[in-house]
Structure 1
Amino acid sequence: MLQFSFTEEQEDFRKILRQYSKEVLLPQYTKWDREKKTPRHLWEELGELGVTGLRIPEKYGGSAADCITTGIAAEEIGKGDFNLTYSVMLNALIGEILSIHANNAIKSEWLPKIAQGKSIVGIAITEPQAGTDAGGIQSTAIRKGDHFILNGEKSGISVATVADAFILFAKTDPTAGNRGISAFLVPSDLPGVDCRGYEDMGNIPIGRGSVYLTDVMIPEQYLIGNLNEGFSQVMNGFDLSRLLIGLQCIGTATQSLDETIEHVKTRHSFGKPLAVNQAVSFPIVHHYTQLELVKWQAYRGLWLRDECLQHTKEAASVKWLAPKYSSEAIHECLLLNGHYAYTKEMPFEQRLRDVIGLEIGDGTAQANQMVIAKHLIGKEFRSYQKI
């Protein structure tokens, strides 16, 4: 029988994270943006709470949590600090890829540190000429004896300037298209790896930037999974990260709505609370309804993944609409809170800047609509598309 509820353990986990987000993360949220700093100590605190190792096996220090529990973490951490939800979303994606495809040496070396929040690992796919068309990767990995030599450029990479390593995708068979791409674990301190940050509009504490590779030597044991099969590995991972991104955005937008509701209930104009005006209350209702609908589609997608059922179009629909609806809701909250909300004394302007970034990352609206169309229309659509 289908149950639209969380387990007692999941509700307890939510309560713990909600309190931590409210008391620890939320008061410092704007601090890291202003200081342009990645709070690595908070990644370690989240490791102590079990957040950074949710999709990592217990033998490597994780909790092997289900996807729904991981979604709860993304939603609740998002209410306190949008950027720290990368410790949920990114670690879940990295944790799955390494746990399933990496050899035992990589797992033993990296998974415990990731689970503890002591190491940050990024995923490097996008290139200047290969964004939505990830199969257009031009970076190369050429075998030379018991090593691979990597050359190329990765762009728009989250945690580029702070990561200890990257799961990096490069062409190992230039003649094989998407099937000629392999994945490697690349430590960021290797000779020939150069990481440079961007002056971004938002997501400042994430340290987004480019990673340049110049004759980087990688031992063959740092190959992840099978040679030439990296593309299929990451495509499945995107179904998880897109659902978690949806809950990350919704958590931030929901927190903005909650704060705005309190404001319009207590702020008076012309002798009455702002909240009694339909021009104020109806927009709040509108955004609440949209966020709730997408939230439950996200949890449904995570349930499908836990049940090993197809969920690609569900993930794409969440990734398409959650950042869009969330940015619209936060924008409305900023306006309803008045001119102080336009200053950096309140968190709304930063939330808006941060969420907009995920209207691009992990697939634009158009890219996700193409994914949905492929699954709805079938081979007639797929035969003309590359995604």
Structure 2
Amino acid sequence: MTMDFGFSSDQETFRASVREFARSTLAPHDAEDDVNGAMRPEMPRQMANIGLTGLRIPDKYGGQGAGALEVGIAAEEVARADLNACYLIVNSTLVSEIMLGAADADQCRRWLPSIADGSTIPALVLTEPEHGSDAASLTVKAEPDAGGWRLTGEKTSITMGMYADVGVVLARTGNAGPSGVSAFIVDLDDGHITRSVFDDLGNRPIGRASIYFDGMPVPRDGLLGAEGSGFTSAMRGFDYSRAVMALACLGTAAAALDDAIGYARIRTAFGAPIGTNEGVAFPLVECATRLRAARLLCYEALWRKDQGMPHTVEANMVKWLAPKLAVEIVHQSLLTFGHTGYSSDNPQGRRLRDVIGLEIGDGTAQITKLVVARNLLGRAAAP
């Protein structure tokens, strides 16, 4: 048995191309996008031009048909330059993953090519004001209507909610519990919806929003899969998207740590570089060690996904670990800069505000630990 911790030559080439794209195209606008609190209109097409919005979409629908490892590589490298741009990768891969598992051929032909080419921004429309972590109890209704359904109720904390053209909407079509939840693919350019943006601490360009459905009509061919299968479809997508988001956090943390290490080499105090002081150097060593360990666990989860192996435990482990670790690393990196790190001219503060958001979004630490606990202990012996 062999154990290989490296990437293939094709994957390394891909990594280098994404890193250069992120450095040259995304990084110069990161600070401005944060101040403006808006996503630049050209960004989806720019990312689509190098295949980042169609990574998991098969080539017959205009995508790359890439593996989960490649998605992780892309998220990590993009996040080194701009964490918020990663949400375009995550949304497109998560929505396409759900569709490929539940949609029929006609639905795939209608929606996936435009997601792949960046002309359509997708969103997963799941969370509700009273039902975030307890998603199986959602109350937005899909009521039967002539020729289909009508959606009524409010969704909230929708990533890319202000920009999304299409959404996979989870709504109740049956009795209480997960078996009464169905998934619908809907055009969000409709007069029956109202959007309201959040004024957030971080992740300001991603347009996190509430969406209210006022009897929005959905045709019969908008149902994804069978009635009552929506919750299962969404949770299956989270099994690997959580590892992708973890790598995005670690990419941001790695960029922050690189800056701090570089500063510790050149900043002098008392006649020597500050890195010669154990109080500066050792915290950076600890950050580098923990970052490397978490990164390996992320890629193990994605490798297992590509091998068709169970990966729920690994993906949920890193979803609680990586955002927490990223916050700690960025914080320590900011402190390494001293008073200059506290200035808005330094990217550390912006990075810190952004990674904090992923301690909440896409599964809180409590929920992901619960998933792991039930796998380790069994449901009867777990919380």
Mapped partners of 2:331, 2:28: distance in 1: 21
Q: Which amino acid aligns with 2:344?
A: K
Q: The residue matched to 1:194 in structure 2 has which SS?
A: strand
Q: Check the 8 A contact 1:265/1:275 in 2, yes or no.
A: yes
Other-structure match for 2:76: 75
Mapped partners of 2:379, 2:260: distance in 1: 46
Q: Check the 8 A contact 1:103/1:221 in 2, yes or no.
A: no
Q: The residue matched to 1:358 in structure 2 has which SS?
A: helix
Q: The residue matched to 1:190 in structure 2 has which SS?
A: coil
> Deviations along 1:197-231, whole A, 9 cap, x unmatched?
01111111000010101111000101111111000
Task: Give 1:368-383 correspondences, 5 Å limit.
Answer: 368-381=368-381
Task: Give 1:138-149 correspondences, 5 Å limit.
Answer: 138-149=139-150
Task: Give 1:1-387 correspondences, 5 Å limit.
Answer: 1-173=2-174, 175-381=175-381
- Range moving further from structure 2, 100-109 or 227-236: 100-109
Mapped partners of 1:361, 1:44: distance in 2: 25
The runs of 4+ residues in structure 1 deviating greater than 3 Å are none
CA RMSD of aligned residues (A): 1.1
Mapped partners of 2:238, 2:286: distance in 1: 29
Q: The residue matched to 2:359 in structure 1 has which SS?
A: coil
Percent identity between matched residues is 39
Q: Which amino acid aligns with 2:33?
A: W
- Range moving further from structure 2, 267-276 or 109-118: 109-118
Deviation at 1:24? Answer: 2.1
> Deviations along 1:290-325, whole A, 9 cap, x unmatched?
111111000000011111111111111100000000
> Deviations along 1:345-380, whole A, 9 cap, x unmatched?
111111111100000011111111111100000031
Mapped partners of 1:379, 1:170: distance in 2: 26
Deviation at 1:240? Answer: 1.2
Q: Which amino acid aligns with 1:160?
A: G
Q: Check the 8 A contact 1:43/1:87 in 2, yes or no.
A: yes
Deviation at 1:176? Answer: 4.6
Q: The residue matched to 1:33 in structure 2 has which SS?
A: helix
Mapped partners of 1:30, 1:264: distance in 2: 23
Tell me the TM-score normalised to structure 1 length: 0.97
Q: Which amino acid aligns with 1:221?
A: D
Q: Check the 8 A contact 2:320/2:365 in 1, yes or no.
A: yes
Mapped partners of 1:59, 1:253: distance in 2: 36
Q: The residue matched to 2:236 in structure 1 has which SS?
A: helix
Q: Which amino acid aligns with 1:268?
A: T
- Range moving further from structure 2, 1-10 or 158-167: 1-10
Mapped partners of 1:346, 1:258: distance in 2: 13
> Deviations along 1:122-173, whole A, 9 cap, x unmatched?
1011111111111010001011132101101101111111111111100000
Mapped partners of 2:331, 2:176: distance in 1: 45
Corresponding pairs, count = 382
Mapped partners of 1:29, 1:347: distance in 2: 9
Mapped partners of 1:94, 1:253: distance in 2: 26
Mapped partners of 1:92, 1:162: distance in 2: 17
* Structure 1, unpaired ranges of 5+: none
Mapped partners of 1:211, 1:185: distance in 2: 15
Q: The residue matched to 2:3 in structure 1 has which SS?
A: coil
Mapped partners of 1:176, 1:305: distance in 2: 31
Q: Check the 8 A contact 2:101/2:233 in 1, yes or no.
A: no
Deviation at 1:117? Answer: 1.5
Mapped partners of 2:43, 2:337: distance in 1: 29
Q: Which amino acid aligns with 2:105?
A: N
Q: Which amino acid aligns with 1:371?
A: V
Mapped partners of 1:363, 1:163: distance in 2: 21
Mapped partners of 1:171, 1:380: distance in 2: 28
Mapped partners of 2:292, 2:200: distance in 1: 30
Deviation at 1:103? Answer: 2.3
Tell me the TM-score normalised to structure 2 length: 0.98
| CA distance 1:8–1:186, change in 2 (3 Å) | same
Q: Which amino acid aligns with 2:211?
A: V
Q: Which amino acid aligns with 2:22?
A: S
